Chains A and B, each alone.
Chain A
Amino acid sequence: MIRFDQVTKLYKGNARPALNSVTLEILRGEFVFLVGASGSGKSSFLRLVLKEENPSRGEIHVLGQNIGRLASRKVPYFRRNLGVVFQDFRLLPQKNVFDNVAFTLQVIGKSKGFIQEAVPDVLKMVGLAGKTNRLPHELSGGEQQRVAIARAIVNKPAILLADEPTGNLDPSTSAGIMSLLERISQSGTTVIMATHDAGIVDQMQRRVIELVSGQVVRDERQGGYQTQTVPIQAFATTPGAYRDLGIAGQSEETR
Protein backbone atom coordinates (compact mmCIF):
# COMPACT_ATOMS: atom_id res chain seq x y z
CA MET A 1 0.00 0.00 0.00
CA ILE A 2 2.79 2.41 1.01
CA ARG A 3 6.42 1.54 0.46
CA PHE A 4 9.41 3.73 1.27
CA ASP A 5 12.64 2.61 -0.32
CA GLN A 6 15.80 4.26 1.05
CA VAL A 7 14.02 7.59 1.22
CA THR A 8 16.02 10.63 2.25
CA LYS A 9 14.55 14.10 2.51
CA LEU A 10 16.80 17.13 2.75
CA TYR A 11 15.43 20.63 3.12
CA LYS A 12 17.23 23.53 1.56
CA GLY A 13 19.70 25.23 3.85
CA ASN A 14 19.79 22.37 6.31
CA ALA A 15 22.55 19.81 6.06
CA ARG A 16 20.75 17.41 8.37
CA PRO A 17 18.15 15.31 6.57
CA ALA A 18 14.56 15.38 7.85
CA LEU A 19 14.31 11.74 6.83
CA ASN A 20 17.43 9.64 6.50
CA SER A 21 17.35 6.54 4.33
CA VAL A 22 13.96 5.34 5.53
CA THR A 23 12.79 1.97 4.28
CA LEU A 24 9.45 0.60 5.38
CA GLU A 25 6.22 -0.86 4.12
CA ILE A 26 2.67 -0.32 5.32
CA LEU A 27 0.00 -2.80 4.26
CA ARG A 28 -3.64 -2.39 3.34
CA GLY A 29 -5.90 -1.89 6.33
CA GLU A 30 -3.09 -1.40 8.83
CA PHE A 31 -3.34 1.09 11.67
CA VAL A 32 0.06 2.66 12.19
CA PHE A 33 1.26 5.10 14.83
CA LEU A 34 4.14 7.32 13.88
CA VAL A 35 5.88 8.50 17.02
CA GLY A 36 8.94 10.60 17.73
CA ALA A 37 9.98 13.98 19.06
CA SER A 38 9.12 17.19 17.28
CA GLY A 39 11.40 17.45 14.29
CA SER A 40 12.00 13.73 14.09
CA GLY A 41 10.49 13.61 10.60
CA LYS A 42 6.89 12.53 11.22
CA SER A 43 5.33 15.39 9.32
CA SER A 44 7.89 15.09 6.53
CA PHE A 45 6.89 11.45 6.22
CA LEU A 46 3.22 12.38 5.84
CA ARG A 47 3.98 15.19 3.39
CA LEU A 48 6.00 12.79 1.26
CA VAL A 49 3.13 10.30 1.17
CA LEU A 50 0.86 13.15 0.04
CA LYS A 51 3.42 14.24 -2.53
CA GLU A 52 3.45 17.72 -1.05
CA GLU A 53 7.21 17.24 -1.08
CA ASN A 54 9.47 15.14 -3.25
CA PRO A 55 12.15 12.94 -1.71
CA SER A 56 15.76 13.99 -2.23
CA ARG A 57 16.74 10.35 -2.73
CA GLY A 58 14.91 7.05 -2.83
CA GLU A 59 11.56 5.91 -4.12
CA ILE A 60 8.08 6.06 -2.66
CA HIS A 61 5.27 3.83 -3.85
CA VAL A 62 1.75 4.65 -2.76
CA LEU A 63 -1.24 2.62 -3.91
CA GLY A 64 0.94 0.83 -6.44
CA GLN A 65 2.21 4.04 -8.02
CA ASN A 66 5.74 5.33 -7.95
CA ILE A 67 4.82 8.84 -6.89
CA GLY A 68 8.22 10.21 -7.83
CA ARG A 69 7.23 9.61 -11.43
CA LEU A 70 3.75 11.05 -11.07
CA ALA A 71 3.19 13.99 -13.43
CA SER A 72 2.27 17.10 -11.47
CA ARG A 73 -1.06 17.44 -13.24
CA LYS A 74 -1.95 13.94 -12.06
CA VAL A 75 -1.16 14.71 -8.43
CA PRO A 76 -4.67 16.08 -7.70
CA TYR A 77 -6.23 12.82 -8.91
CA PHE A 78 -3.75 10.81 -6.85
CA ARG A 79 -4.70 12.82 -3.76
CA ARG A 80 -8.36 11.90 -4.13
CA ASN A 81 -7.36 8.48 -2.78
CA LEU A 82 -6.00 9.97 0.43
CA GLY A 83 -7.72 11.65 3.33
CA VAL A 84 -5.86 14.03 5.63
CA VAL A 85 -6.63 15.27 9.14
CA PHE A 86 -4.63 17.92 10.99
CA GLN A 87 -4.14 18.99 14.56
CA ASP A 88 -5.71 22.39 13.77
CA PHE A 89 -8.73 20.93 11.92
CA ARG A 90 -8.45 23.38 8.98
CA LEU A 91 -12.17 23.90 8.54
CA LEU A 92 -13.59 26.77 6.51
CA PRO A 93 -14.95 29.14 9.16
CA GLN A 94 -17.72 30.66 7.08
CA LYS A 95 -19.16 27.33 5.92
CA ASN A 96 -21.40 25.15 8.08
CA VAL A 97 -20.66 21.52 8.90
CA PHE A 98 -22.52 20.14 5.90
CA ASP A 99 -20.89 22.59 3.48
CA ASN A 100 -17.42 21.97 4.88
CA VAL A 101 -17.76 18.30 4.07
CA ALA A 102 -19.62 18.90 0.82
CA PHE A 103 -16.90 21.33 -0.35
CA THR A 104 -14.48 18.41 -0.74
CA LEU A 105 -16.88 16.63 -3.05
CA GLN A 106 -17.86 19.76 -4.95
CA VAL A 107 -14.30 20.65 -5.87
CA ILE A 108 -13.59 17.20 -7.24
CA GLY A 109 -16.69 17.43 -9.36
CA LYS A 110 -19.16 15.08 -7.65
CA SER A 111 -22.81 15.45 -8.53
CA LYS A 112 -25.33 17.20 -6.29
CA GLY A 113 -27.20 13.95 -5.83
CA PHE A 114 -24.09 12.13 -4.67
CA ILE A 115 -23.28 14.93 -2.23
CA GLN A 116 -26.80 14.97 -0.82
CA GLU A 117 -26.45 11.28 -0.08
CA ALA A 118 -22.82 10.91 0.98
CA VAL A 119 -22.50 13.89 3.33
CA PRO A 120 -25.37 13.01 5.76
CA ASP A 121 -24.10 9.41 5.79
CA VAL A 122 -20.60 10.36 6.78
CA LEU A 123 -21.80 12.94 9.32
CA LYS A 124 -23.93 10.24 10.91
CA MET A 125 -20.93 7.96 11.05
CA VAL A 126 -18.79 10.52 12.89
CA GLY A 127 -21.67 11.30 15.23
CA LEU A 128 -22.64 14.76 14.01
CA ALA A 129 -25.98 13.92 12.41
CA GLY A 130 -27.81 16.59 14.39
CA LYS A 131 -25.32 19.41 13.82
CA THR A 132 -25.16 19.75 10.07
CA ASN A 133 -26.11 23.44 10.09
CA ARG A 134 -23.67 24.60 12.76
CA LEU A 135 -20.70 26.76 11.93
CA PRO A 136 -17.26 25.53 13.06
CA HIS A 137 -16.96 28.13 15.86
CA GLU A 138 -20.18 26.85 17.36
CA LEU A 139 -18.66 23.40 17.85
CA SER A 140 -16.30 21.99 20.46
CA GLY A 141 -12.77 21.01 19.47
CA GLY A 142 -13.68 17.34 19.37
CA GLU A 143 -16.67 18.06 17.16
CA GLN A 144 -14.57 20.18 14.84
CA GLN A 145 -12.09 17.32 14.51
CA ARG A 146 -14.99 14.99 13.71
CA VAL A 147 -16.00 17.36 10.92
CA ALA A 148 -12.43 17.30 9.63
CA ILE A 149 -12.41 13.50 9.75
CA ALA A 150 -15.76 13.38 7.98
CA ARG A 151 -14.31 15.63 5.30
CA ALA A 152 -11.26 13.38 4.97
CA ILE A 153 -13.22 10.15 4.59
CA VAL A 154 -16.33 11.27 2.71
CA ASN A 155 -14.69 10.31 -0.58
CA LYS A 156 -13.86 6.85 0.84
CA PRO A 157 -10.08 7.13 0.55
CA ALA A 158 -7.85 4.07 0.74
CA ILE A 159 -5.48 5.85 3.13
CA LEU A 160 -6.17 8.25 5.97
CA LEU A 161 -3.26 10.37 7.18
CA ALA A 162 -3.68 12.03 10.55
CA ASP A 163 -1.10 14.53 11.80
CA GLU A 164 -1.54 14.70 15.56
CA PRO A 165 -5.33 14.70 15.34
CA THR A 166 -5.71 14.65 19.12
CA GLY A 167 -3.02 17.24 19.76
CA ASN A 168 -5.51 19.97 20.69
CA LEU A 169 -8.04 17.76 22.51
CA ASP A 170 -8.54 16.63 26.08
CA PRO A 171 -8.08 12.91 26.89
CA SER A 172 -11.73 11.88 26.88
CA THR A 173 -12.43 13.72 23.63
CA SER A 174 -9.28 12.14 22.20
CA ALA A 175 -10.59 8.71 23.14
CA GLY A 176 -13.75 9.42 21.15
CA ILE A 177 -11.71 10.47 18.12
CA MET A 178 -9.56 7.33 18.44
CA SER A 179 -12.54 5.02 18.50
CA LEU A 180 -13.78 6.81 15.38
CA LEU A 181 -10.40 6.29 13.67
CA GLU A 182 -10.47 2.65 14.73
CA ARG A 183 -13.88 2.18 13.14
CA ILE A 184 -12.58 3.79 9.96
CA SER A 185 -9.63 1.42 10.02
CA GLN A 186 -11.93 -1.58 10.49
CA SER A 187 -13.77 -0.65 7.32
CA GLY A 188 -10.53 -1.35 5.43
CA THR A 189 -8.91 2.09 5.32
CA THR A 190 -5.21 2.26 6.07
CA VAL A 191 -4.71 4.78 8.88
CA ILE A 192 -1.38 6.43 9.59
CA MET A 193 -1.38 8.66 12.62
CA ALA A 194 1.48 10.82 13.83
CA THR A 195 1.15 11.46 17.54
CA HIS A 196 2.81 12.41 20.82
CA ASP A 197 0.04 10.92 22.91
CA ALA A 198 1.62 8.05 24.83
CA GLY A 199 -1.64 7.02 26.48
CA ILE A 200 -3.38 6.45 23.18
CA VAL A 201 -0.52 4.47 21.67
CA ASP A 202 -0.17 2.24 24.71
CA GLN A 203 -3.89 1.62 24.86
CA MET A 204 -4.44 0.82 21.20
CA GLN A 205 -1.62 -1.73 20.89
CA ARG A 206 -1.11 -1.25 17.15
CA ARG A 207 1.93 -1.08 14.92
CA VAL A 208 4.29 1.67 16.08
CA ILE A 209 7.02 3.23 13.97
CA GLU A 210 9.38 5.45 15.91
CA LEU A 211 11.49 8.08 14.21
CA VAL A 212 14.54 9.72 15.74
CA SER A 213 16.38 12.36 13.71
CA GLY A 214 14.77 11.12 10.55
CA GLN A 215 15.66 7.48 11.07
CA VAL A 216 13.39 4.56 11.91
CA VAL A 217 14.66 3.27 15.24
CA ARG A 218 11.77 0.98 16.07
CA ASP A 219 9.01 -0.69 14.09
CA GLU A 220 6.96 -3.14 16.11
CA ARG A 221 3.52 -4.72 15.98
CA GLN A 222 1.31 -4.04 18.97
CA GLY A 223 3.87 -1.66 20.37
CA GLY A 224 3.68 0.90 23.13
CA TYR A 225 4.88 4.48 23.21
CA GLN A 226 8.03 3.89 25.28
CA THR A 227 10.54 6.05 23.47
CA GLN A 228 14.18 5.38 22.88
CA THR A 229 15.02 9.04 22.69
CA VAL A 230 17.43 9.86 25.46
CA PRO A 231 15.75 12.17 27.98
CA ILE A 232 16.55 15.75 27.17
CA GLN A 233 17.96 16.54 30.64
CA ALA A 234 20.87 14.19 30.07
CA PHE A 235 21.87 16.19 27.02
CA ALA A 236 21.38 19.60 28.41
CA THR A 237 24.71 19.51 30.26
CA THR A 238 26.64 18.93 27.04
CA PRO A 239 27.17 22.08 24.95
CA GLY A 240 25.71 21.85 21.45
CA ALA A 241 23.61 18.86 22.35
CA TYR A 242 20.40 20.33 20.98
CA ARG A 243 21.82 20.14 17.50
CA ASP A 244 22.04 16.39 17.81
CA LEU A 245 18.42 16.06 18.71
CA GLY A 246 17.54 16.50 15.09
CA ILE A 247 15.50 19.66 15.47
CA ALA A 248 15.40 20.02 11.73
CA GLY A 249 13.04 22.93 11.85
CA GLN A 250 10.98 22.93 8.70
CA SER A 251 9.28 19.61 9.18
CA GLU A 252 6.96 20.97 11.84
CA GLU A 253 6.34 24.11 9.86
CA THR A 254 2.74 25.19 10.02
CA ARG A 255 1.36 26.52 6.82
Chain B
Amino acid sequence: MRLGLVMSEVGTGLRRNVSMVVAVVLVTFISLTFVGAAILLQFQINQMKGYWYDKAQVAIYMCVGSDPVAKCNLAEATKDQKAAVEAQLTSPALAGLVKTATFQDHNQVYATYKASFSDNNTADFVTPANLPETFYVNLKDPSQSDAVIESISGLAGVEQVVDQRKYLDPIFSALNAASFTAVGIASLMLVAAVLLIATTIRLSAFSRRRELGIMRLVGASNRFIQTPFIIEGVVAALIGSGLACVAIVALVKFFVQGYLAGRAQGVALVGMHDVAIVVPVLLVVGAVLAAASASVAIGRYLKV
Protein backbone atom coordinates (compact mmCIF):
# COMPACT_ATOMS: atom_id res chain seq x y z
CA MET B 1 0.00 0.00 0.00
CA ARG B 2 2.58 2.52 1.10
CA LEU B 3 5.14 1.13 -1.29
CA GLY B 4 2.63 1.61 -4.11
CA LEU B 5 2.02 5.18 -3.00
CA VAL B 6 5.74 5.92 -2.81
CA MET B 7 6.37 4.46 -6.25
CA SER B 8 3.51 6.40 -7.80
CA GLU B 9 4.96 9.58 -6.28
CA VAL B 10 8.34 8.67 -7.81
CA GLY B 11 6.71 8.15 -11.19
CA THR B 12 4.92 11.49 -10.99
CA GLY B 13 8.14 13.25 -10.04
CA LEU B 14 10.13 11.70 -12.87
CA ARG B 15 7.46 12.51 -15.45
CA ARG B 16 7.06 16.07 -14.25
CA ASN B 17 10.77 16.84 -14.64
CA VAL B 18 11.60 14.88 -17.77
CA SER B 19 14.15 17.35 -19.12
CA MET B 20 16.03 17.59 -15.83
CA VAL B 21 15.95 13.83 -15.40
CA VAL B 22 17.40 13.39 -18.90
CA ALA B 23 20.16 15.85 -17.96
CA VAL B 24 20.91 13.89 -14.79
CA VAL B 25 20.99 10.64 -16.75
CA LEU B 26 23.41 12.03 -19.33
CA VAL B 27 25.76 13.68 -16.87
CA THR B 28 25.85 10.60 -14.67
CA PHE B 29 26.39 8.46 -17.76
CA ILE B 30 29.37 10.45 -18.97
CA SER B 31 30.97 10.97 -15.57
CA LEU B 32 30.71 7.32 -14.61
CA THR B 33 32.02 6.24 -18.00
CA PHE B 34 35.14 8.26 -17.22
CA VAL B 35 35.33 6.74 -13.75
CA GLY B 36 35.04 3.27 -15.27
CA ALA B 37 37.67 4.03 -17.91
CA ALA B 38 40.05 5.31 -15.23
CA ILE B 39 39.60 2.16 -13.18
CA LEU B 40 40.16 -0.03 -16.24
CA LEU B 41 43.28 1.92 -17.14
CA GLN B 42 44.66 1.31 -13.66
CA PHE B 43 43.89 -2.39 -14.03
CA GLN B 44 45.66 -2.34 -17.39
CA ILE B 45 48.72 -0.67 -15.92
CA ASN B 46 48.93 -3.18 -13.09
CA GLN B 47 48.48 -6.07 -15.46
CA MET B 48 51.19 -4.81 -17.80
CA LYS B 49 53.53 -4.18 -14.89
CA GLY B 50 53.01 -7.71 -13.67
CA TYR B 51 53.58 -9.09 -17.17
CA TRP B 52 56.55 -7.02 -18.20
CA TYR B 53 58.37 -6.78 -14.91
CA ASP B 54 58.33 -10.54 -14.82
CA LYS B 55 59.99 -10.71 -18.22
CA ALA B 56 62.19 -7.68 -17.97
CA GLN B 57 65.64 -8.48 -16.76
CA VAL B 58 69.01 -6.99 -16.26
CA ALA B 59 70.89 -7.57 -19.49
CA ILE B 60 74.71 -7.75 -19.45
CA TYR B 61 75.97 -7.06 -22.97
CA MET B 62 79.49 -8.33 -23.64
CA CYS B 63 81.81 -6.57 -26.06
CA VAL B 64 81.72 -7.50 -29.73
CA GLY B 65 84.57 -7.16 -32.22
CA SER B 66 82.93 -4.32 -34.09
CA ASP B 67 82.19 -2.34 -30.95
CA PRO B 68 83.71 1.18 -31.05
CA VAL B 69 83.08 1.80 -27.34
CA ALA B 70 86.36 2.75 -25.70
CA LYS B 71 86.07 0.14 -23.00
CA CYS B 72 85.83 -2.67 -25.52
CA ASN B 73 88.49 -1.30 -27.84
CA LEU B 74 87.11 -3.25 -30.81
CA ALA B 75 87.98 -6.50 -29.09
CA GLU B 76 85.56 -9.39 -28.66
CA ALA B 77 85.01 -10.37 -25.03
CA THR B 78 87.23 -13.27 -24.18
CA LYS B 79 86.28 -16.57 -22.61
CA ASP B 80 87.98 -15.52 -19.35
CA GLN B 81 86.06 -12.27 -19.23
CA LYS B 82 82.79 -14.16 -19.66
CA ALA B 83 83.80 -16.55 -16.94
CA ALA B 84 84.64 -13.59 -14.66
CA VAL B 85 81.14 -12.19 -15.15
CA GLU B 86 79.60 -15.57 -14.42
CA ALA B 87 81.77 -15.90 -11.32
CA GLN B 88 80.74 -12.44 -10.17
CA LEU B 89 77.05 -13.34 -10.59
CA THR B 90 77.42 -16.44 -8.47
CA SER B 91 79.66 -14.72 -5.91
CA PRO B 92 78.24 -14.44 -2.37
CA ALA B 93 77.64 -10.70 -2.85
CA LEU B 94 75.16 -11.20 -5.73
CA ALA B 95 73.96 -14.78 -5.30
CA GLY B 96 71.35 -13.56 -2.82
CA LEU B 97 69.83 -11.19 -5.37
CA VAL B 98 69.92 -13.26 -8.51
CA LYS B 99 67.12 -15.66 -9.26
CA THR B 100 68.36 -16.99 -12.56
CA ALA B 101 71.12 -16.03 -14.95
CA THR B 102 71.17 -17.34 -18.50
CA PHE B 103 73.84 -16.83 -21.10
CA GLN B 104 73.00 -16.43 -24.79
CA ASP B 105 75.75 -16.62 -27.40
CA HIS B 106 75.74 -14.77 -30.71
CA ASN B 107 73.48 -17.26 -32.46
CA GLN B 108 70.89 -17.42 -29.70
CA VAL B 109 70.72 -13.64 -29.47
CA TYR B 110 70.39 -13.46 -33.25
CA ALA B 111 67.51 -15.95 -33.18
CA THR B 112 65.63 -13.91 -30.58
CA TYR B 113 66.33 -10.75 -32.54
CA LYS B 114 65.00 -12.27 -35.75
CA ALA B 115 61.87 -13.40 -33.99
CA SER B 116 61.22 -9.95 -32.50
CA PHE B 117 61.88 -7.95 -35.64
CA SER B 118 60.67 -10.40 -38.26
CA ASP B 119 58.64 -7.70 -40.00
CA ASN B 120 61.46 -5.15 -39.95
CA ASN B 121 63.91 -4.68 -42.82
CA THR B 122 66.90 -3.83 -40.60
CA ALA B 123 66.92 -7.47 -39.53
CA ASP B 124 68.30 -8.34 -42.95
CA PHE B 125 71.50 -6.33 -42.40
CA VAL B 126 72.25 -7.68 -38.97
CA THR B 127 74.56 -10.65 -38.61
CA PRO B 128 75.02 -12.73 -35.48
CA ALA B 129 78.45 -11.18 -34.96
CA ASN B 130 76.93 -7.70 -34.67
CA LEU B 131 74.83 -8.71 -31.70
CA PRO B 132 76.53 -8.89 -28.32
CA GLU B 133 76.55 -12.04 -26.33
CA THR B 134 74.33 -11.45 -23.35
CA PHE B 135 73.76 -12.60 -19.81
CA TYR B 136 70.09 -12.24 -18.91
CA VAL B 137 69.80 -11.93 -15.17
CA ASN B 138 66.47 -12.33 -13.44
CA LEU B 139 66.39 -10.74 -10.03
CA LYS B 140 64.50 -11.86 -6.97
CA ASP B 141 63.61 -8.23 -6.32
CA PRO B 142 63.60 -6.20 -9.56
CA SER B 143 64.18 -2.94 -7.68
CA GLN B 144 67.65 -4.13 -6.61
CA SER B 145 69.03 -3.91 -10.12
CA ASP B 146 71.46 -1.12 -9.17
CA ALA B 147 73.60 -3.47 -7.09
CA VAL B 148 74.04 -5.81 -10.04
CA ILE B 149 74.72 -2.98 -12.49
CA GLU B 150 77.36 -1.52 -10.19
CA SER B 151 79.28 -4.68 -9.55
CA ILE B 152 79.24 -5.95 -13.15
CA SER B 153 79.66 -2.89 -15.32
CA GLY B 154 83.25 -2.34 -14.13
CA LEU B 155 84.41 -5.76 -15.32
CA ALA B 156 86.59 -6.08 -18.38
CA GLY B 157 84.84 -7.16 -21.57
CA VAL B 158 81.44 -5.87 -20.41
CA GLU B 159 80.10 -3.29 -22.80
CA GLN B 160 77.02 -2.25 -20.88
CA VAL B 161 74.65 -3.43 -18.18
CA VAL B 162 71.04 -2.40 -18.72
CA ASP B 163 68.01 -2.69 -16.49
CA GLN B 164 65.33 -3.35 -19.08
CA ARG B 165 62.66 -2.23 -16.67
CA LYS B 166 63.78 1.33 -17.31
CA TYR B 167 62.56 1.11 -20.89
CA LEU B 168 59.04 0.42 -19.60
CA ASP B 169 58.77 3.25 -17.10
CA PRO B 170 57.92 5.98 -19.65
CA ILE B 171 55.10 3.82 -21.01
CA PHE B 172 53.68 3.32 -17.55
CA SER B 173 53.97 6.97 -16.65
CA ALA B 174 52.14 7.89 -19.87
CA LEU B 175 49.38 5.43 -19.02
CA ASN B 176 49.29 6.76 -15.47
CA ALA B 177 48.92 10.31 -16.73
CA ALA B 178 46.04 9.22 -18.94
CA SER B 179 44.40 7.51 -16.01
CA PHE B 180 44.78 10.58 -13.77
CA THR B 181 43.33 12.76 -16.51
CA ALA B 182 40.34 10.45 -16.69
CA VAL B 183 39.98 10.62 -12.91
CA GLY B 184 40.17 14.42 -13.05
CA ILE B 185 37.51 14.71 -15.71
CA ALA B 186 35.42 12.12 -13.92
CA SER B 187 35.52 13.99 -10.62
CA LEU B 188 34.58 17.29 -12.25
CA MET B 189 31.71 15.59 -14.02
CA LEU B 190 30.66 13.89 -10.78
CA VAL B 191 30.50 17.26 -9.04
CA ALA B 192 28.27 18.46 -11.89
CA ALA B 193 26.15 15.34 -11.56
CA VAL B 194 25.72 15.79 -7.82
CA LEU B 195 24.71 19.44 -8.20
CA LEU B 196 22.35 18.59 -11.02
CA ILE B 197 20.69 15.86 -8.99
CA ALA B 198 20.27 18.22 -6.06
CA THR B 199 18.75 20.88 -8.33
CA THR B 200 16.40 18.38 -9.93
CA ILE B 201 15.20 17.17 -6.56
CA ARG B 202 14.70 20.74 -5.34
CA LEU B 203 12.64 21.50 -8.44
CA SER B 204 10.63 18.39 -7.93
CA ALA B 205 10.05 19.24 -4.28
CA PHE B 206 9.12 22.80 -5.20
CA SER B 207 6.51 21.66 -7.68
CA ARG B 208 5.05 19.45 -4.97
CA ARG B 209 5.33 21.94 -2.10
CA ARG B 210 1.56 21.94 -1.50
CA GLU B 211 1.54 18.20 -0.99
CA LEU B 212 4.66 18.45 1.16
CA GLY B 213 3.06 21.14 3.32
CA ILE B 214 -0.02 19.02 3.86
CA MET B 215 2.03 15.91 4.49
CA ARG B 216 3.97 17.69 7.22
CA LEU B 217 0.78 19.13 8.66
CA VAL B 218 -1.00 15.80 8.97
CA GLY B 219 2.03 14.09 10.41
CA ALA B 220 3.63 12.12 7.60
CA SER B 221 7.00 10.90 8.87
CA ASN B 222 10.14 12.46 7.45
CA ARG B 223 11.19 9.17 5.96
CA PHE B 224 7.90 8.86 4.15
CA ILE B 225 8.22 12.38 2.77
CA GLN B 226 11.81 12.08 1.58
CA THR B 227 11.80 8.53 0.25
CA PRO B 228 10.08 9.31 -3.08
CA PHE B 229 12.56 12.09 -3.78
CA ILE B 230 15.58 9.99 -2.95
CA ILE B 231 14.28 7.13 -5.08
CA GLU B 232 13.65 9.63 -7.86
CA GLY B 233 17.29 10.75 -7.78
CA VAL B 234 18.58 7.21 -7.48
CA VAL B 235 16.47 5.98 -10.40
CA ALA B 236 17.74 8.76 -12.65
CA ALA B 237 21.33 8.16 -11.58
CA LEU B 238 21.01 4.40 -11.97
CA ILE B 239 19.81 4.80 -15.55
CA GLY B 240 22.95 6.89 -16.15
CA SER B 241 25.17 4.33 -14.39
CA GLY B 242 23.55 1.55 -16.40
CA LEU B 243 24.41 3.35 -19.62
CA ALA B 244 27.96 3.90 -18.34
CA CYS B 245 28.24 0.16 -17.66
CA VAL B 246 27.02 -0.61 -21.17
CA ALA B 247 29.62 1.82 -22.53
CA ILE B 248 32.40 0.18 -20.50
CA VAL B 249 31.38 -3.30 -21.59
CA ALA B 250 31.27 -2.14 -25.20
CA LEU B 251 34.65 -0.42 -24.82
CA VAL B 252 36.33 -3.57 -23.56
CA LYS B 253 34.54 -5.94 -25.90
CA PHE B 254 34.87 -4.04 -29.16
CA PHE B 255 37.86 -1.74 -28.66
CA VAL B 256 40.17 -3.55 -26.25
CA GLN B 257 39.45 -7.15 -27.13
CA GLY B 258 38.31 -6.61 -30.69
CA TYR B 259 40.71 -3.95 -31.95
CA LEU B 260 43.64 -3.65 -29.54
CA ALA B 261 44.07 -7.38 -28.99
CA GLY B 262 44.57 -7.82 -32.73
CA ARG B 263 47.18 -5.05 -32.89
CA ALA B 264 49.13 -5.60 -29.73
CA GLN B 265 49.70 -9.30 -29.50
CA GLY B 266 51.61 -10.58 -26.54
CA VAL B 267 50.38 -7.75 -24.35
CA ALA B 268 48.07 -8.72 -21.52
CA LEU B 269 44.91 -6.62 -21.89
CA VAL B 270 42.02 -6.06 -19.52
CA GLY B 271 39.16 -8.45 -20.09
CA MET B 272 35.62 -9.17 -19.08
CA HIS B 273 36.62 -10.29 -15.58
CA ASP B 274 37.89 -6.73 -14.96
CA VAL B 275 34.63 -5.34 -16.31
CA ALA B 276 32.81 -7.55 -13.83
CA ILE B 277 34.55 -5.59 -11.05
CA VAL B 278 34.00 -2.16 -12.61
CA VAL B 279 30.27 -2.55 -13.31
CA PRO B 280 29.09 -2.98 -9.70
CA VAL B 281 31.44 -0.17 -8.60
CA LEU B 282 29.81 2.21 -11.10
CA LEU B 283 26.29 1.20 -10.08
CA VAL B 284 27.06 1.66 -6.40
CA VAL B 285 28.85 4.99 -6.91
CA GLY B 286 25.93 6.30 -8.98
CA ALA B 287 23.29 5.20 -6.50
CA VAL B 288 25.14 6.39 -3.40
CA LEU B 289 25.97 9.82 -4.85
CA ALA B 290 22.38 10.31 -5.98
CA ALA B 291 20.92 9.21 -2.65
CA ALA B 292 23.27 11.46 -0.71
CA SER B 293 22.71 14.58 -2.81
CA ALA B 294 18.95 14.02 -3.00
CA SER B 295 18.62 13.63 0.76
CA VAL B 296 20.64 16.80 1.34
CA ALA B 297 18.51 18.65 -1.22
CA ILE B 298 15.23 17.53 0.32
CA GLY B 299 16.40 18.23 3.87
CA ARG B 300 15.23 21.83 3.66
CA TYR B 301 11.65 20.69 3.18
CA LEU B 302 11.72 18.47 6.23
CA LYS B 303 12.51 21.03 8.88
CA VAL B 304 9.77 20.92 11.47
Contacts and interface: CB of A to CB of B under 8 A. Distances in A.
Q: Does B associate with A?
A: yes
Contacts of A218: none
B64 to A, nearest CB: 84
A107 B220 contact: yes
B174 interface: no
Given A90-B210, A109-B224, A84 B217 contact: yes
Given A92-B214, A107-B225, 16 more contacts: A72-B304, A75-B304, A76-B216, A76-B220, A79-B216, A79-B217, A80-B218, A82-B219, A90-B214, A92-B211, A103-B214, A104-B214, A107-B5, A107-B220, A108-B218, A109-B1
A148 to B, nearest CB: 10
Nearest to A84: B217
Contacts of A9: none
Contacts of B225: 107
29 contacts: A50-B217, A51-B304, A52-B304, A72-B304, A76-B219, A76-B221, A76-B222, A76-B304, A77-B221, A78-B219, A79-B216, A80-B219, A82-B219, A84-B217, A90-B214, A92-B210, A103-B211, A104-B218, A106-B1, A106-B2, A106-B5, A107-B215, A107-B220, A107-B224, A108-B218, A108-B219, A109-B2, A109-B224, A255-B213
A155 interface: yes
User: Could you say which of B214, B218, B219, B304 has the most chain A C-beta atoms within 10 Å of its C-beta?
Assistant: B218
A73 interface: yes
A233 interface: no
Contacts of A72: 304
Interface string B196-237: 000000000000001101111111111011000000000000
A221 interface: no
Nearest to B223: A73
B3 to A, nearest CB: 11
User: Could you say which of B2, B221, B222 has the most chain A C-beta atoms within 10 Å of its C-beta?
Assistant: B221
B304 A111 contact: no
Contacts of A112: 1
Interface in A52-102: 52, 72-73, 75-80, 82, 84, 90, 92-93
A52 B221 CA distance: 15
Given A52-B304, A112-B1, A73 B211 contact: no
Interface string B1-12: 110010000000
Contacts of A78: 219
Q: Identify the 7 closest CB pairs spanning chains A and B, nearest first.
A: A79-B219, A80-B219, A107-B220, A75-B304, A104-B218, A76-B219, A76-B221
A80 B220 CA distance: 8
A27 B224 CA distance: 33
Contacts of B211: 92, 103
B69 to A, nearest CB: 81
A79 B218 contact: yes
A54 to B, nearest CB: 10
Contacts of A75: 304
A73 B5 CA distance: 21
A6 B220 CA distance: 30
Contacts of B222: 73, 76
A153 to B, nearest CB: 11
Nearest to A255: B213
Interface string A101-122: 0011011110110000000000
Contacts of A108: 218-221
A81 to B, nearest CB: 8
Nearest to B224: A107
A104 B215 CA distance: 7
